[in-house]
């Protein structure tokens, strides 16, 4: 009798790339998939991701690439295995920030007829509803903020509910449905010799200010970023905390009370 042997992800990598694996190092950030840096004996370096949604990630990367951004290069996609080219990154400088600004302006110029994305997604156990909505305030309330309220600290819940009710007066009804990275913070940007490379997307179509708000929540881009991206929309600063609330809520769910102060601050800045 011939016993069937299960093909492991290591076997798949070696078969696809034609070289044995010389080393594997687990990387942080595996909320959605197991991530590792893999070195092959022929000198190739890869990032491997294993999980149920790697195909969705690959399609998001391709959408951003087609829109003009530099993104992690897909080398192989199997059923539950995504292999990306390894990128050597360095500290950001003015040119790197400028390349990010230009790339972000490029993807935001790629628009859709509806808000959302053809597939739902997730951050760890947090499901992300990307179903289309008729208006942008509906999408931001129903697909982003309202589902997180039961997981927030009790005193904050009525404040978030009040903000959701006010969104038709606080957000534009139908801004351009721009292609968004969807999880844009410093950890998802690699500054390389070929410019800024975006990784780990959570793409959907929505108001372009969402990406800008999240980038500002976790850091301060250099002025060259804004120069390359272009002028902000009128009253963007008044909407920024409304858009920052979503990533603050996600981080609270993923990492706990150390993000409670951020939640309080963002809600206060949103005026609720």
Q: Report the catalytic residues.
A: 183
Helices (H), 48-193: 54-66, 94-108, 136-139, 157-170
Structure tokens at 258: 């150390």
Q: For residue 33, what are its two tokens?
A: 């998939």
Structure tokens at 216: 């500002």
CA of 213: how far to CAs of 139, 158, 237, 250, in Å? Answer: 17, 23, 9, 15
Distance (Å, rounded) from C-alpha 207 to C-alpha 248? 18
> Alpha-carbon torsion 255, 258, 261, 266, what sign?
negative
Q: Are 146 and 127 in contact (CB under 8 A)?
A: no
The alpha carbon of residue 247 and the mean position of all alpha carbons in its chain are separated, in whole angstroms, by 10
Task: Calculate the CA dihedral of residues 262, 217, 220, 86 and round it to 10 degrees.
Answer: 120
DSSP bridge pairs for 206: 178
Distance CA 112, CA 68 (A): 16
Relative to beta strand 121-123, strand 126-128 is antiparallel
d(Cα 205, Cα 180) in Å, to the nearest integer? 6
For residues 60 and 216, what is the distance between their CA atoms, to the nearest angstrom? 22
């Amino acid at each position: 009798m011939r016993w069937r042997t299960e093909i492991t992800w290591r076997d798949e990598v070696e078969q696809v790339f034609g070289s044995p694996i010389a080393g594997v190092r687990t990387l942080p950030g595996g909320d959605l998939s197991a991530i590792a840096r893999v070195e092959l004996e022929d000198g190739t370096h890869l990032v491997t991701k294993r999980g149920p949604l790697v195909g969705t990630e690959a399609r998001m990367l391709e959408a951003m690439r087609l829109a003009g951004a530099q993104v992690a290069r897909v080398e192989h996609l199997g059923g539950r295995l995504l292999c990306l080219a390894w990128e050597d990154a360095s500290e950001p400088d003015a040119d790197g920030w400028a390349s990010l600004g230009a790339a972000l302006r490029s993807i935001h110029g790629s628009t859709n007829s509806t808000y959302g994305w053809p597939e739902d997604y997730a951050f760890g156990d947090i499901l992300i509803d990307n179903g289309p909505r008729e208006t942008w305030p509906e999408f931001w309330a129903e697909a982003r903020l309202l589902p997180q309220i039961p997981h927030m600290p009790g005193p904050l819940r009525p404040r978030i509910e009040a903000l959701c009710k006010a969104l038709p007066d606080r957000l534009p009804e139908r801004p351009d449905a721009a292609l968004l990275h969807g999880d844009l913070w410093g950890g998802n940007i690699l500054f390389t010799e070929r410019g800024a490379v975006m990784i780990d997307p959570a793409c959907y179509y929505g108001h372009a200010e969402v990406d800008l708000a999240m980038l500002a929540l976790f850091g301060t881009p250099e002025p060259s970023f804004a120069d390359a991206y272009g002028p902000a929309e009128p009253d963007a600063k008044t909407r920024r905390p409304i858009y920052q609330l979503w990533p603050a809520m996600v981080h609270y769910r993923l990492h706990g009370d150390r993000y409670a102060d951020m939640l309080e601050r963002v809600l206060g800045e949103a005026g609720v």
